[in-house]
A = this chain, B = another copy of it.
Amino acid sequence: MYQMKCTKCGGLAVVNMPQHRLKLCEEHFLEWFPEQVVNIIRRYDMFAPDDRVLVAVSGGKDSLALWYVLDRLGYETEGMYINLGIDHDDYSNRSQEHVEAFAAEHGLEYQVVNVAETYGRGVPALISTTRGHRMCAACGLVKRHIMNRIAYEGDYAAIATGHNCDDEAAVLMQNVLHWQTGYLRRQAPVLPQVHPRLARKVKPLCRIYERDVAAYALVRGIDYIQQECPYSKKAQTLFYKEILNQIERRSPATKQQFYITYLKAKDEGLFAEGEEEGRVYHTCPRCGQPTLADDLCAFCKLWENL
C-alpha cells in the first residue's frame, strides 16, 4: 500500500490537505493546527492575547476542538453550554455530559444555561405553539439571545463559535444561489459589536476544513457527541457541503478560495451599502436587549406567544 510522507519531515503522514499542498505526520499536524488558528485570529483581528473569550460549545467536534486549542494557545476561555431541552434521545443532556466530561478532563471552566429551568420551557415546547416559526429559526433566536446575555453579563471580549470552512462555504453557497443580499453583505469571520449588549462574534476555525478539524479532534482524543440534533434540518446543509466537496475533488482548494475570495472581494468594496447600514436599535422593554422592533424583541415575543 502507498504510504503518504509528511511534507515537513518525511515521516508517515496521517493527514493529506491538498488545499494546502501539505501531507503531515501526527506530530507536525498537531503543530500545524494551532498555528492556523492563531493566524486566523490575528488575520481577522478577532481578539487580543489577554482577552477573555466565551466559547459557545455544543458538545460536537468543532466547538470542543476550538475550546481545546484556544486553551492550549493560552487564551483565557470559558465554555458556555446552552441546554435547549431537546429530550428526543436525551440529546441535550447527553451533549451536556460530553461538555462536562471534556471540561473536567482539561480543567476548564464553563457555565450551563438550561433553557427550561431559566425560561420555563425547552425549545421544542416553543414550536407547536408559535405559528410561522420553524424549529431551527426559533432555536437560533434563543441561542443568540442567551449568548448575548451571557457575554454581556460576564463582560467577555467576544463569543467564539466552532464554524469551520465547510460550514461557512455551504452557507455562502446557499446565500449566493438565492442572492440573499443582506446575508451576502454580512457574512464574516467577525461580527463586530454594534451595540453594547450585542456581543462581538468570532469564528477562529473559519478557514479550516471540517475534515481537518475532525482529524484534530480524533488525534487529540476529544470525545464529542457524534449525533446531530434530531430536529436539525442538516440535510440541506449537508447537501451543499457535498456539492462543494465534489467541486473540491475536481479542483482542490476551490472550497477555501470560494470563501476567502468572497471575504476579500467584500473588503475591497464589491457590494454597495445596503439598507441595513443605518438601522436604529430600540431597547426591548422586557429583556433590555436591543431590537429593531418597536416593542418586545423577537426573543421575548416568542415566550409571549405561548
Q: Which residues of A contact B (CB under 8 A)?
A: 176-179, 181, 184, 239, 243, 246-247, 250, 254, 257-258, 261-262, 264-265, 268-272
Contacts and interface: CB of A to CB of B under 8 A. Distances in A.
Counting every copy of the chain, the complex holds 2
A266 to B, nearest CB: 9
B179 A254 contact: no
A239 B243 contact: no
Given A243-B246, A250-B239, A265 B177 contact: no
A257 B180 CA distance: 12
Given A243-B243, A270-B271, 20 more contacts: A176-B258, A177-B247, A177-B257, A177-B258, A178-B257, A178-B261, A179-B261, A179-B262, A179-B264, A179-B265, A179-B270, A181-B265, A184-B270, A239-B250, A243-B246, A243-B247, A269-B272, A271-B271, A271-B272, A272-B272
A176 B247 CA distance: 13
A248 to B, nearest CB: 11
7 nearest A-B residue pairs (beta carbon): A179-B261, A179-B265, A272-B272, A177-B258, A269-B272, A181-B270, A176-B176
Contacts of A258: 176-179
Contacts of A177: 247, 254, 257-258
Contacts of A272: 269-272
13 contacts: A176-B258, A177-B254, A178-B257, A178-B258, A179-B262, A179-B264, A181-B270, A184-B270, A239-B250, A243-B243, A243-B246, A271-B271, A271-B272
Contacts of A271: 270-272
